Amino acid sequence: MAVTAASAANTVEAVFRIESARIIAGVARIVRDVGIAEEIAQDALVAALEQWPESGVPDRPGAWLMATAKHRAIDLVRRKETYARKLAEVGRTLTDAPPPPEPADADDIDDDLLRLIFTACHPVLSTEARVALTLRLLGGLTTGEIARAFLAAEPTVAQRIVRAKRTLAKAGVAFEVPYGAERAERLGSVLDVIYLIFNEGYAATAGDDLVRPALCEDALRLARVLAGLMPYEPEVHGLAALLEFQASRIPTRTGPAGEPVLLADQNRAKWNRLLIRRGIESLGRAGAGPLGPYALQAAIAGCHAQAVRYEDTDWATIAALYGQLVRVMPSPIVELNRAVAVSMTQGPAAGLALVDAMAAEPALKDYHLLPSVRGDLLARLGRAEEARAEFEHAASLARNARERQLLLDRAAEAADRPR
């Protein structure tokens, strides 16, 4: 039955948002080029916009889009002599009949998605390019949406995505899932990209908003997809657990006016218990052996998530977990977080000694949380004037407007304390 153009367009948009990653992945397996695969997927989208108002929306719209895109991909391969070898590989199983209405085998779809994830996150690309391309191909976001999420100019993001596709093609990156040592190296890149996407939504580095929940949702969805595709990779479950735990706190991280709410002041009754349970389950799947960096961070987040009150937080376990994390992933930022945990178990003076030992660390030179943590420890020691100066310094380094205001408020609070 025919439908209105507006109704068809809404349906196409909704279906394509859900199915675009699978469609691009399925086509990329045929043409071996993610840039061409995305163009063909867009062609299928246009075909749906043209045909569905007259023919009606198919019973399986996602399968229709997939079949149409694959048919066009096959036609492209057959038209180009330079694809003769690829045609010999994939064309034997193809016929000249119209594409089937049913989707490909579920295992094939999963394999294609995994290939697409590893391709979009290939180390040959810059970090910014990996993030943009992943959100575009796997998150289904438009260039404008990616630009708004990262407070970047849309032409800049568009150029970044185009260059990323060209780089992959020029480097001859194979559309495949790596194995052995290369798989471990590449998996780290995939996990880092998903985490970066989540973290930008969880604690925006710049702009007026502290939290951008849509980015967190995109990253959490990608982590869940990856966990389903790679069920025997402990760190994949570790990342999924970490994001589940962190996402559970998002509704309480900001107040009515968007102002940041410190962990100690958050209403834990409003933490999402379903996400916390999912985090616990994912952490359990990470295995009983030595935990990797993401699983260790998940274990730390789990300690916070399972404390009914801030006062119930198991800081001793958190400090020990940070000690393990420092050994497997040496980082000044991890050391800074460990100093906070130590200050909660051994007192602010012990934490301050650790922080002061990091003062000359180049990686922390312009990191606003270093003076912020130092200000907090000084305030707890009653050294109000020094705390005020540290909070003001932290505010001068903060790029996010909400964080900057919080730090200025804490500086004013320290200045008002009796000497």
Mean pLDDT by 10 residues, the chain (419 residues): 68 82 90 91 89 85 91 85 52 44 47 90 92 89 84 90 94 87 86 90 76 87 92 95 96 90 94 97 88 96 96 97 95 94 97 93 89 96 95 93 93 79
User: How far is residue 110's CA from residue 57's CA, in Å, rounded to a whole number?
Assistant: 25
Handedness of CA 33, 35, 40, 41 (dihedral sign): positive
3-class DSSP assignment, residue 315: helix
Enter the tokens of residue 416. Answer: 């008002």
> What integer pLDDT is reported at residue 207 of this predicted model?
73
At 102 the pLDDT is 42
pLDDT at res. 87: 46
Please count the other Cβ atoms lying within 10 Å of the Cβ belonging to residue 95.
10
Question: Please, which residues bridge with residue 207 across strands?
Answer: 400
Residue in 354, 400, 345, 6 with CA at minimum distance from that of residue 211: 400
Give the burial class of 287: count Cβ atoms within 10 A of its Cβ; 0-12 exposed, 13-18 middle, 19 or more buried: middle
Phi–psi pair at 311, nearest 5 degrees: -65, -20
What's the pLDDT at 155? 94
How close are the terminal C-alpha atoms of the chain, in Å?
79
DSSP state of 151: T
Residue 419 burial (CB count, 10 A): 5
Task: Give the pLDDT score at 178.
Answer: 85
Residue 93: is it exposed, middle or buried by C-beta count within 10 angstroms (0-12/13-18/19+)?
A: exposed
Instruction: Give the pLDDT of residue 54.
Output: 83
Amino acid in position 221: R
pTM for this prediction: 0.81
Identity of the amino acid at 30: I
